[in-house]
Structures are given as C-alpha cells and as structure tokens.
Copies of this chain bind each other. A is one copy, B any other.
Amino acid sequence: MEERQQKLLKEIVESYIKTVKPVGSKSLCEKLKCSSATIRNEMATLEEMGLLEKNHISSGRIPSEKGYRYYVENLMKPKELTGEDVLKLQTIFSNRDLQLSDAINQCVEIISEITNYTSIVLGKKSHQNTLQQVSIIPLKEDKIVALVCTDQGMVQNRQFTLPAHVRMEEIVKTSEIINKMLIGTPIDEVSTRLEYDIKPIISKRIEQYESVYHIFMEAFQNFATNMQENIHFSGKHKLIEKPEYDNVEEIRKITSKFEDEDLIKKIEEKKGSKGINIYIGEENEFDPNVTVIKTTYHYHGEEGTIAIIGPKRMEYDRVVGLLSYINENLNDEK
C-alpha cells in the first residue's frame, strides 16, 4: 500500500475516533497537502480495498472493521502512559497487604476511569496456588465452617451442617490428616488426591467416612467454583454514554448483555496469543458493535483476564498502551 494511502487511512481512522463523524475529503486537504479531489480518488481506492465504508452514497467515509484492523496492525503507535496514570497503578500494585484479587479489582476501576471505557476482570483462577491449610471451626448446634487457605493467602469458606452420626472429632481428625499429607498440593489437584490418598486412609479409621469425605470434597469444589465465577465490572455506563449509543434499543441490548454472565465468560474463553489481543466488531463474540481488547495476568499464583470494552472506534493507541503496561507489570517472569 502506498504511503499516502496509509497516511490517509490513518487520518481518517483517527479523525473518526475523535469526532464520530464520517470524514469528508475537504477536511483532510491541509494534512495531506493536496486537493479534495485527489483525496476523493484515494478514498475510492481504499474503499475498493475494503478499508473504508460509506453510510450512504454521499456522506464522508468511516473505517470498516478491516480498516480498523489495518490501522491497529500497521499504523498505530501505542501511547505511553502518563506519569500520573503510572502512579495510580503503582500505588495499587505496591500495596503488599492488599489481597491480590482486591488489587486487581481496584486496578480495573482505575482502568475504566482513565480510559473511559467499560472494563472487566474475569476468569480468576488459582491453579498455581497450593494448599496451605484446612481449618475446621465448630459453631453451635451441628454446624461447622470449613476453611481452605492457599500459600498465596487466598481463603474460601463454606458452612456445613454435620450429618447425623458424624462426630466433630472425626472431622477434625480428617482435617489434620489432610494438613499432614496434602500441604503444598496444587489446589486444583486436591480433589483428586482427596479421593485417592485421603479416602482410603479415613475409610479405615472413621465410620461415616463417606459423609466426611463429601464435606471436604465440597469444600474444595467450592473453592474452585468461587474462584472462577468471579466477574468484576467497572464503568458499565461508560460504554453506553458514547455517542454511538443514541437509540434506546441498542442501549437496552448492550445492557442486557452486560448482565449475561455466560456471554461475558466467552470473552475470556476466546483463546488469543500472548500479550494484548484485539477483537474488533464481528471478531468478538460479545457484541458486533464493540471492540474488546484483553490481556491476561499471571501473578502470585493467580491468573485471569482483564478486558476493556469500547466502541469499535476505540482509542486503540491509549488502550493498548495501558494494557501493555499492565501486562508487563502483572506477569511473573518465568
């Protein structure tokens, strides 16, 4: 592609991102140092290539999805974060006493605030966590709380009512056995080890071992579930405040989608490459009118996805810059 065409495309994309108005040939004369007629010719060829679109036969051009993609891959320069923004993020990252999950959640709030788009963190998993301790706390009546804590300090708890004939001591004894044998086991292998290592042992010593086994089994499964179901949004309203959302139906549609957890999870499931992934319009499965930019973090035993949702005319340079920074700072080097 010729250089002037590239420059033209770049100008059109950036102008449209800024103004949301189809861009006409006249407005670019100065920047490209040629007449509107010349620009119209070039525009026509860019349109033939599928990089530009017209709303109606005679209004300015807007970038097509293919146009955005070309822009993202060839023309855009990620923007460096401002010192101010870096500072905001660093204060979160460096707060060592903040539970990691909370830190990430706060991080997403900041992202939404500085980008002005909707952002999500989701799919938190903890499979690099290992078991640190199981605790049983007896309550009154036949109730207990079972706690699971990992080496990274994640804690989940679940309440149980003891089945008839199961005595407290048996539960406690089992928890001690688990603590003796399974500490250091990756958290997502615990269920398996529980079945193959622990069950045979307690079956010899405990009468109602099936019930006891089930309690611990559920406690660990609860851990896995709670970890994965976590979806944290920030700035839902930012998206619908963009001027492209100028009709009621469209807003309702997107608002419903925000509440559809299964759909949100699709954002996470879509496998991309390392680093930053960009899904423009039809490329993403969430909504054909938005762009999703996401990255993953693997940090202190927790992993998850951070995604930003904005209109297709997203400020790619700023968002990519920001997510790159986060991606670099939130990944343990191997």
Question: A: which residues have CB within 8 A of B?
Answer: 96-99, 132-133, 135, 137, 139-140, 143, 145, 147, 149, 151-153, 155, 157-161, 235-237, 240-241, 245-248, 251-252, 255-256, 258-259
Q: A161-B96, A251-B248 are in contact. Are A147 and B153 (CB under 8 A)?
A: no
Distance of A255 Cα from B241 Cα, bound (Å): 10
Q: List 24 A-B contacts (CB under 8 A).
A: A96-B161, A97-B158, A97-B161, A99-B157, A133-B137, A135-B135, A135-B137, A139-B151, A139-B152, A145-B149, A145-B155, A147-B147, A147-B149, A153-B157, A155-B157, A235-B259, A236-B259, A237-B252, A237-B255, A237-B256, A245-B248, A247-B248, A248-B248, A251-B252
Would A140 and B151 count as touching, CB distance under 8 A? yes
Distance of A160 Cα from B98 Cα, bound (Å): 8
Distance of A294 Cα from B137 Cα, bound (Å): 35
Would B153 and A99 count as touching, CB distance under 8 A? no
Number of this chain's copies in the complex: 2
| Chain B residue, CB-CB nearest to A157 | B155
Would B149 and A153 count as touching, CB distance under 8 A? no
Would B145 and A139 count as touching, CB distance under 8 A? no
Q: A96-B161, A143-B153 are in contact. List 10 more A-B contacts (CB 8 A).
A: A99-B159, A132-B137, A137-B153, A139-B152, A145-B149, A153-B159, A155-B155, A236-B259, A240-B252, A248-B248
Pick from B155, B240, B241: contact of A147, CB below 8 A: B155
Pick from B132, B147, B237: contact of A139, CB below 8 A: B132
Distance of A155 Cα from B259 Cα, bound (Å): 28
Distance of A251 Cα from B247 Cα, bound (Å): 10
Residues of chain B with a CB closer than 8 A to A157's CB: 99, 149, 153, 155
Distance of A155 Cα from B159 Cα, bound (Å): 10
Residues of chain B with a CB closer than 8 A to A255's CB: 236-237, 240, 255
Task: Quote the shortest CB–CB distance from A108 to chain B (angstroms).
Answer: 13
Distance of A155 Cα from B145 Cα, bound (Å): 9
Task: Quote the shortest CB–CB distance from A35 to chain B (angstroms).
Answer: 39
Distance of A30 Cα from B259 Cα, bound (Å): 44
Distance of A241 Cα from B248 Cα, bound (Å): 9
| Chain B residue, CB-CB nearest to A257 | B237
Task: Quote the shortest CB–CB distance from A241 to chain B (angstroms).
Answer: 6
Task: Quote the shortest CB–CB distance from A260 to chain B (angstroms).
Answer: 9
| Chain B residue, CB-CB nearest to A100 | B159
Residues of chain B with a CB closer than 8 A to A252's CB: 237, 240-241, 251
Task: Quote the shortest CB–CB distance from A159 to chain B (angstroms).
Answer: 4
Would B247 and A259 count as touching, CB distance under 8 A? no
Would B161 and A137 count as touching, CB distance under 8 A? no
| Chain B residue, CB-CB nearest to A152 | B139
Residues of chain B with a CB closer than 8 A to A236's CB: 255, 259
Residues of chain B with a CB closer than 8 A to A160's CB: 97
Task: Quote the shortest CB–CB distance from A299 to chain B (angstroms).
Answer: 14
Residues of chain B with a CB closer than 8 A to A152's CB: 139
Residues of chain B with a CB closer than 8 A to A143's CB: 153
Distance of A35 Cα from B280 Cα, bound (Å): 62
Residues of chain B with a CB closer than 8 A to A248's CB: 245-248, 251
Residues of chain B with a CB closer than 8 A to A139's CB: 132, 151-153
